[in-house]
Amino acid sequence: MSQSGDALVKLEGVYKHFPIKQGIFFKKEVGRVHAVDGVDLEVRRGETLGIVGESGCGKSTLARCITGLHPITKGRILFEGQDIGRSPGKAFRRDVQMIFQDPYGSLNPRRRVGSIIGDPFDIHGTASGAERKRRVQELMELVGLNPEHFNRFPAEFSGGQRQRIGVARALALKPKLIVCDEPVSALDVSIQAQVINLLKDLQDELGLTYIFIAHDLSVVRYVSNRVAVMYLGKIAEGAEGEELYERPRHPYTNALLSAASVADPDAAEKRERIVLIGDVPSPIKPPSGCRFHPRCPKAQETCVGEVPVLIARAGDPADHVTACHFPVEAGEHLAREQAAIEQLSTEPTLPSA
């Protein structure tokens, strides 16, 4: 996104395409899912970078590219200045960890919690026997679990506690970067806040860097220093957190913010909801030009033909970048705008009330 600060991770033109193959014996590529389609991003040491977007925007794939779970199709991922290449080494595996969305799916149900958290020590051969047990119990204590429960099975814990187990496992090797993929979206509201507080405390205590991926805007706003908005494999807008939430430039960011639910009746009634047309198009055949143009209330001919670049727009701070030909100006009422082109989308506008 921008060039300042001490970059821990740097993504340069990262692409990840999944081929779609058909055929019984001789599989032929019939198409590609453009999951991540040219992403430049920088994560600074000690910060939390939030990535928001709707399902299918490629945010989870991007997370898995950064942790080295998916080899990337094109581009470079630099970790502390080193290209991690197609198969990252053990040192990288130690430094970069991941916290998963599903507290039920991310823990092997047949193993005791102690061995799950101790896994990293075994794999990297850093501790064994009594030392390993001691470190596991330390970790459990650190994330707010009763260390005496190390012999229990995941099924004996509730959702929030399981997520803590996942956090403990991620912390075992003292990583520098933790990629959190929707870490709280499977949890009940009252439990979400517990886990978010835990992540924040750990960051302060251990000086961690987070990439925090979520679809819930208010959670991302709360945890992140900087936020990037993804749409169909590309970054639509990126900025320092408050800046993005207060002065969103990309029409998609505006729509996303206006659609977020607010637990405040007055605020909810007052806001102007920008109701977008239709659903997110298929990433197999992304729209031409600006990918948002079929749903964008400001779309014009230019948007169909030209891909907008991700740069700082007039009047914005240098690290507020927007990929839009016609960024939203202050005081503009997007909810009332009409696109200048005929929009070819899966669904037409709602019949007006």
Instruction: Please give the residues from 58 up to 97 whose contact with another protein meets the rule CB under 8 A.
Output: 64, 67-69, 90, 93-94, 96-97
- 27 vs 76 by CB, closer to another protein: 27
**Looking at 42-50, 74-82, 100-108, 299-307, which segment touches another protein (CB under 8 A)?**
100-108
Please identify which residue in 146, 174, 206, 333 interacts with another protein, judged by CB under 8 A: 146
Question: Residue 321, interface with another protein (CB under 8 A)?
Answer: no
Question: Residue 48, interface with another protein (CB under 8 A)?
Answer: no
- 13 vs 285 by CB, closer to another protein: 285
Question: In which order are the strands placed within the sheet that holds 7-22?
Answer: 28-44, 7-22, 74-79, 82-83
- 312 vs 335 by CB, closer to another protein: 335
C-alpha closest to that of 296 among 325, 331, 266: 325
Subset of residues 261 to 290 that bind another protein, contact rule: CB under 8 A: 261-265, 267-269, 273, 275-276, 278-280
- 9 vs 107 by CB, closer to another protein: 107
Least CB distance to another protein at residue 269 (A): 5
Question: Residue 330, interface with another protein (CB under 8 A)?
Answer: no
Please identify which residue in 30, 155, 206, 318 interacts with another protein, judged by CB under 8 A: 155
Least CB distance to another protein at residue 141 (A): 9
**Looking at 2-10, 29-37, 38-46, 215-223, which segment touches another protein (CB under 8 A)?**
215-223
DSSP symbol at 345: -
- 15 vs 153 by CB, closer to another protein: 153
Using DSSP's 3-state secondary structure scheme, residue 238 falls into: strand
- 243 vs 319 by CB, closer to another protein: 243
Please identify which residue in 18, 75, 222, 287 interacts with another protein, judged by CB under 8 A: 222
- Phi, psi (deg, nearest 5) at residue 223: -95, -20
Q: Which residues contact 24 (CB under 8 A, 6 or more apart)?
A: none
Please identify which residue in 132, 169, 176, 293 interacts with another protein, judged by CB under 8 A: 169
Subset of residues 226 to 265 that bind another protein, contact rule: CB under 8 A: 241-242, 245-246, 255-256, 258-265
**Is 99 in contact with 179 (CB distance < 8 Å)?**
yes
Question: Residue 347, interface with another protein (CB under 8 A)?
Answer: yes
Subset of residues 290 to 319 that bind another protein, contact rule: CB under 8 A: none
**Looking at 8-16, 117-125, 127-135, 302-310, which segment touches another protein (CB under 8 A)?**
117-125
Annotate 68-106 with b (16+ C-beta within 10 A) or e (fewer).
bebebbebebebbeeebeeebeeebbbbbbbbbbebeeb
C-alpha closest to that of 345 among 258, 282, 298, 301: 282
Using DSSP's 3-state secondary structure scheme, residue 204 falls into: helix
Position of tokens 């429960």? 149
What gap in Å lies between CA 46 and CA 186, rounded to an integer?
A: 26
Question: Residue 219, interface with another protein (CB under 8 A)?
Answer: yes
Question: Residue 19, interface with another protein (CB under 8 A)?
Answer: no
Least CB distance to another protein at residue 198 (A): 9
CA–centroid distance for 86 within its chain: 21
**Is 178 in contact with 205 (CB distance < 8 Å)?**
no
Q: Which residues contact 157 (CB under 8 A, 6 or more apart)?
A: 113, 149, 165
Least CB distance to another protein at residue 12 (A): 22
* Burial of 55 from C-beta contacts in 10 A (0-12 / 13-18 / 19+): exposed
Question: Residue 125, interface with another protein (CB under 8 A)?
Answer: no
C-alpha distances in Å from residue 145, one per residue of 72, 140, 162, 185: 36, 5, 10, 20
- 217 vs 235 by CB, closer to another protein: 217
